[in-house]
């Protein structure tokens, strides 16, 4: 039965493969081939790094006028697109925004918003809008505007862009919180035409979130449950006697090490995320770390097999173990909901859990058959459901 660690290893590697495919951002497009129906020409254009959007612009530094064309596909034709300059920060809060959407008569319109909360209100903004129009065709919205910046001689600005799916009573509704939405920001060099993502808070942050997801998904979400399966079922077989223990200890200790690293990445991500708090995910993560650390203590406090406290130690150890498995799986799902990768990753994880569950069920059945056979062979000694003839622990939780 020791060979049943092979399928388990296979599951782990398949899982690693699945999760590592999460890191695959790329988009190929080319703004220089875009033309406009009004034949406007702009000095610079940029393929923006997220949301399939593009920015064309011309800057006249003497007049401080900035002409922009922002192009993006809204999630729905009834949605909105927005482009903003943030003179005071690098995210959404403080963004001086132009938002294009259909108004109540169905015509494309552009309005300005000084964004201070999610409940946005049309308002004056930092720059003067000399001219603005918008159009919608082929699933793509185009926002044209000529702005006069209040500060002369500015050469670089922080900009933010966004898309949303709906507008209610003339007010654009909240956008999604996918990585692509959250990373839609950067700096714009008005003269050279270069754009940069907003430093480490952008692309690399998504990468770090994915790494956090992989580490925790594999450790808490898979290795801990697999380690439990090893301990619960392999030791039924006398031939697997010391082996199951080392496999189990190795699996759980490595899961703990990987899990703690993943936990650390999570705390770091959480401390950097000022605007949005995922308190459920965070609290479960902290609880998991605490319970798992207690479990590591259990390893050192383990009494001898025939010690009278061993019974209580078993309850403690198994109780913590199952708690970790349940919290781990729950938190992987919570994490998946936050990271929201393509649906297939969640499905892949569910399938892995079902496979593990099926393996556990099968082994549960085999274990009972073995125990009942053993019991009937040694029918002189009553089976108390807790230990077999040799005092070995059986299905003790
Ligand atoms: C964009 O298109 C132009 C002309 O079609 C081409 O020369 C250039 O290599 C393209 N750039 C990218 C990044 O594809
Ligand atoms: C809708 O937008 C168009 C173009 O900006 C404007 O002419 C029209 O008055 C607007 N309609 C309403 C009801 O605001
Ligand atoms: C935008 O709103 C903030 C907070 O209410 C305010 O301090 C700021 O002056 C406003 N900016 C403009 C350009 O009105
Ligand atoms: C605003 O636009 C009008 C017409 O497009 C133009 O004549 C005027 O000079 C512009 N104002 C500024 C400050 O650029």
Substitution site in 88, 94, 96, 114 for ligand 3 pocket (most atoms within 8 Å of beta carbon): 114
Same fold, 27-198 and 202-377: no
Matching residue, tokens 């708090």: 277
Counting atoms of ligand 2 from 1, which one is nearest the CA of 109? 5
Counting atoms of ligand 1 from 1, which one is nearest the CA of 47? 13
List, as residue ranges, the binding site for heme b: 212, 248, 281, 317
Distance CA 167, CA 333 (A): 30
Given a contact cutoff of 8 angstroms between Cβ atoms, the answer to whether 98 and 85 are in contact is no
Nearest CA to 289 among 314, 260, 329, 253? 260
Substitution site in 98, 102, 104, 105 for ligand 2 pocket (most atoms within 8 Å of beta carbon): 105
pLDDT at 388: 40
Any atom of ligand 2 within 6 Å of the Cβ of 105: yes
List, as residue ranges, the binding site: 212, 248, 281, 317
Distance CA 203, CA 72 (A): 19
Centroid of ligand 2 to alpha carbon of 109 (angstroms): 7
Alpha carbon distances (Å) from 191 to 84, 109, 110, 152, 273: 18, 29, 25, 13, 32
Counting atoms of ligand 4 from 1, which one is nearest the CA of 65? 14
132 pairs with which residues across the strands?
Answer: 145
Any atom of ligand 1 within 6 Å of the Cβ of 33: yes
Given a contact cutoff of 8 angstroms between Cβ atoms, the answer to whether 395 and 232 are in contact is yes
pLDDT tens, position by position, for the chain (397 residues)?
Answer: 344 445 445 545 555 554 444 443 333 346 877 888 777 888 888 888 889 999 999 998 888 899 999 999 999 999 999 999 999 888 888 999 999 999 989 899 999 999 988 778 899 999 999 999 999 999 999 999 999 999 887 788 899 999 999 999 889 998 988 888 888 998 888 887 666 655 444 557 678 888 999 999 999 999 999 999 999 998 888 788 888 989 999 999 999 999 999 999 998 888 776 556 778 899 999 999 999 999 988 888 888 888 888 888 889 999 999 999 999 999 999 998 877 777 788 899 999 999 999 999 999 999 899 889 888 887 654 444 444 434 344 444 3
Counting atoms of ligand 3 from 1, which one is nearest the CA of 123? 14
Residue of minimum CA distance from atom 5 in ligand 3 = 116
pLDDT at 324: 94
Alpha carbon distances (Å) from 78 to 81, 129, 138, 215: 10, 24, 13, 39
Substitution site in 26, 28, 32 for ligand 1 pocket (most atoms within 8 Å of beta carbon): 32
Counting atoms of ligand 3 from 1, which one is nearest the CA of 124? 14
Substitution site in 132, 144, 146, 149 for ligand 4 pocket (most atoms within 8 Å of beta carbon): 146
pLDDT at 385: 42
Any atom of ligand 1 within 6 Å of the Cβ of 35: no
Any atom of ligand 3 within 6 Å of the Cβ of 133: no
Residue of minimum CA distance from atom 4 in ligand 3 = 116
Any atom of ligand 4 within 6 Å of the Cβ of 130: yes
Given a contact cutoff of 8 angstroms between Cβ atoms, the answer to whether 157 and 187 are in contact is yes
| Architecture of the CATH domain 27-198 | Sandwich (2.60)
* pTM, rounded to two decimals: 0.53
Any atom of ligand 1 within 6 Å of the Cβ of 304: no
* 393 backbone dihedrals φ, ψ, rounded to 5°: -70, 135
- Closest ligand to 121 CA? 3
Any atom of ligand 2 within 6 Å of the Cβ of 109: yes
Any atom of ligand 1 within 6 Å of the Cβ of 24: no
What is the residue extent of each domain of the chain? Answer: 27-198, 202-377
202-377: CATH number: 1.20.120.1770
pLDDT at 4: 45
Any atom of ligand 4 within 6 Å of the Cβ of 60: no
Residue of minimum CA distance from atom 1 in ligand 1 = 30
Nearest CA to 9 among 386, 326, 359, 319? 359
């Amino acid at each position: 039965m020791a060979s049943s660690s092979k399928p388990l290893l296979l599951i782990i590697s398949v899982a690693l493969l699945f999760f590592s495919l999460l890191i695959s951002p790329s988009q190929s497009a080319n703004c220089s081939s875009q033309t406009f129906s009004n034949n406007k020409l702009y000095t610079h254009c940029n393929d923006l790094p997220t949301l399939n959007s593009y920015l064309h612009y011309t800057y006249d530094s003497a007049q401080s006028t900035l002409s922009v064309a922002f192009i993006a596909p809204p999630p729905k034709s009834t949605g909105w697109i927005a482009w903003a300059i943030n003179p005071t920060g690098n995210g959404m809060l403080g963004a001086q925004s132009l938002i294009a959407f259909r108004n109540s008569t169905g015509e494309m319109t552009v309005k300005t918003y000084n964004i201070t909360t999610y409940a946005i209100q049309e308002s004056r903004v930092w720059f003067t809008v000399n001219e603005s129009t918008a159009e919608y065709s082929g699933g793509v919205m185009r926002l044209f505007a000529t702005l006069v910046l209040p500060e002369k001689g500015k050469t670089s600005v922080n900009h933010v862009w966004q898309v949303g799916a709906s507008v209610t009573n003339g007010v654009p509704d909240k956008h999604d919180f996918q990585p692509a939405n959250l990373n839609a920001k950067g700096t714009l060099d008005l003269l050279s035409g270069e754009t940069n993502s907003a430093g480490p808070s952008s692309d690399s942050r998504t990468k770090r979130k994915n790494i956090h997801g992989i580490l925790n998904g594999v450790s808490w979400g898979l290795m801990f449950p697999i380690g439990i399966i090893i301990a619960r079922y392999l030791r039924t077989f006398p031939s697997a006697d010391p082996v199951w223990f080392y496999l189990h200890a190795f699996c759980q200790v490595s899961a703990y090490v990987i899990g703690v690293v993943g936990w650390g990445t999570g705390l770091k991500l959480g401390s950097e995320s000022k605007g949005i708090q995922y308190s459920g995910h965070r609290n479960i993560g902290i609880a998991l770390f605490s319970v798992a650390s207690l479990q590591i203590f259990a390893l050192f406090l383990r009494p001898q097999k025939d010690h009278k406290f061993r019974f209580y130690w078993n309850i403690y150890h198994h109780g913590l173990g199952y708690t970790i498995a349940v919290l781990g799986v729950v938190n992987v799902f919570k994490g998946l909901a936050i990271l929201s990768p393509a649906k297939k990753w969640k499905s892949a994880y569910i399938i892995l859990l079902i496979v593990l569950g099926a393996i556990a069920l099968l082994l549960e059945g085999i274990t009972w058959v073995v125990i009942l056979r053993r019991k009937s062979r040694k029918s002189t000694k009553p089976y108390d459901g807790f230990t077999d003839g040799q005092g070995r622990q059986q299905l003790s939780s």
